[in-house]
Amino acid sequence: MDEILEILEKDGRASVEDIAKMIHKKPDAVKKAIKQYEKEGAILKYKAVINKDLIKDTESEVRALIEVNIVPQKDLGFEKIAQRIYSFPEVTSCYLISGTYDLLVVVEGKNLHTVSNFVAEKLSCLENVRGTATHFLLKKYKEDGVILKQKSENKRIAISY
């Protein structure tokens, strides 16, 4: 991968001038390359990794990983059903995977009930879906290569008998 893309992937806030210094190129050349990557769709979005556990007054969000077993369609394979699934607003990511299941779908909802309703009422009833396995995320330790600082918890005193 290009050096510019590697730097931006690690730090989307890196300035053109800083990138130019790191790779020993002129800022105008870096700026032009970035604009070209954006135009081609290689750079889709700049994103902040947010540790939601440390933010006060935010609604708790539930995230689930759902393994989906599907029957591929003749001449279309997995593409059409994957497109149908990733078009739901609850779906944040969708991957074709190897193994027992065919797709790995990441879903977010306001609570467990919202996510379970999505699985029961939208996902499982799709024609080509043959089965699902839902895994709720309980705690995040690392996301997008960033180790998340944990809230300090009350230390319990060990009880021994």
Does residue 58 share a domain with residue 12? no
Q: Looking at this protein, which amino acid is placed at residue 69?
A: N
Distance separating alpha carbons of residues 48 and 46, to the nearest angstrom: 7
Residues 19 and 70 both lie in one domain: no
Structural domain containing residue 82: 54-139
- 130 and 63 both lie in a single domain: yes
CATH code (residue 80)? 3.30.70.920
Instruction: Tell me the two tokens of residue 137.
Output: 């995320």
Same domain, 67 and 21: no
- 36 and 61 belong to one structural domain: no
Q: What is the pLDDT of residues 74-123, one digit of tens each?
A: 888 899 999 999 999 999 999 999 999 999 999 999 999 999 999 999 99
DSSP one-letter string for 27-84: HHHHHHHHHHHHHHTSS--------GGG-TT----EEEEEEEEEPPBTTTBTHHHHHH
pTM, two decimals, is: 0.79
Based on the structure, what is the number of domains in the chain? 2
